[in-house]
Amino acid sequence: MQTPGPGQQRQSARKKRDSVTTGSFYSLFESEVPEREIIASGAILLRRFAFESASELMRDLDWISAAAPFRHMITPGGFRMSVGMTNCGYAGWISDRKGYRYDSRDPLSGKPWPVMPESFRLLAHSAATEAGYPDFVSDACLINRYEPGARLTLHQDRNEQDYTAPIVSVSLGLPAVFQFGGNSRKDKVRRFKLESGDVVVWGRESRLAYHGVAALKDGDHPLTGRCRINLTFRKAL
């Protein structure tokens, strides 16, 4: 018998863990759910990759959101975004009547955004490496909080200076439907159910792919309660 490699070890640990999660989608359909799925050229879905770090990420999110609370930003067109947002890292994504951009300071407090915790940095780096982007160093993490009904319409991430770096997106809590299209708004959009711990990484040919999140269904999750948290890591500067 061959010694299992790190990927295989993780897979068998995950299978064991999933098999004790009674009623989980994964325990019912384990053999049908691929652990890694190439969803487009340069884009990959790593299922449950962040499962084991989830509690630590949520603990760190507590102090981030105490220092920089979630808020509903206003779009340049004057609409209130349904997703609550905050940031950590050197740069934070913001939106107001003046436009979409990154800023090193939280406009609510005038202070720099909270530093990116080690737990966030390590996870983003290891997911990017697993997806084939070992040089990824993130300087910005946008934290999205979806309550029931909140959604993110199809958009491209274009406010970063450097499109050679990928985007790493981590799902925690309630499941959501992630929409992923092509580089043109008219391209066909595929839909993926994202569960807590799933990570999507997209770069290269897919770096400017349109993507969005359908309106969140109501539910209650042991990790987050009645919401979904998404951590989106980017190289902004």
Ligand X SMILES: O=C(O)CCC(=O)C(=O)O
Does 196 bind ligand X (CB under 6 A)? Our answer is no
Q: Tell me the C-alpha to C-alpha distance, in Å, between residue 193 and each of 94, 180, 231.
A: 27, 11, 16
Does 169 bind ligand X (CB under 6 A)? Our answer is yes
Rounded Cα–Cα distance for residues 97 and 95 (Å): 7
Give, for 19, the enclosing helix (H) or strand (E).
Answer: helix 6-19
CB 178 within 8 A of CB 194: yes
Q: Which amino acid is at 228?
A: R
Considering only residues 211, 216, 235, 236, which one is a binding residue for ligand X as defined by CB under 6 A?
A: 211
In terms of Cβ atoms closer than 10 Å to its own Cβ (0-12, 13-18, 19+), residue 52 is: middle
Does 224 bind ligand X (CB under 6 A)? Our answer is no
Does 142 bind ligand X (CB under 6 A)? Our answer is yes
In terms of Cβ atoms closer than 10 Å to its own Cβ (0-12, 13-18, 19+), residue 121 is: middle
Rounded Cα–Cα distance for residues 116 and 119 (Å): 8
Cβ nearer to ligand X, comparing 59 with 155: 155
Cβ nearer to ligand X, comparing 119 with 144: 144
In terms of Cβ atoms closer than 10 Å to its own Cβ (0-12, 13-18, 19+), residue 112 is: middle
Cβ nearer to ligand X, comparing 53 with 230: 230
Cβ nearer to ligand X, comparing 4 with 225: 225
Cβ nearer to ligand X, comparing 14 with 140: 140
Cβ nearer to ligand X, comparing 20 with 168: 168
Does 86 bind ligand X (CB under 6 A)? Our answer is no
Does 180 bind ligand X (CB under 6 A)? Our answer is no
Considering only residues 51, 136, 178, 233, which one is a binding residue for ligand X as defined by CB under 6 A?
A: 178
Considering only residues 60, 106, 130, 157, which one is a binding residue for ligand X as defined by CB under 6 A?
A: 157
Give, for 85, the enclosing helix (H) or strand (E).
Answer: strand 84-89
Does 138 bind ligand X (CB under 6 A)? Our answer is no
Does 145 bind ligand X (CB under 6 A)? Our answer is no
The residues in 4-23 that bind ligand X, with binding defined as CB under 6 A, are none
CB of 148 to ligand X, least distance (A): 14
Return residues touching ligand X (CB under 6 A): 142, 144, 152, 157, 169, 171, 178, 211, 213, 230, 232
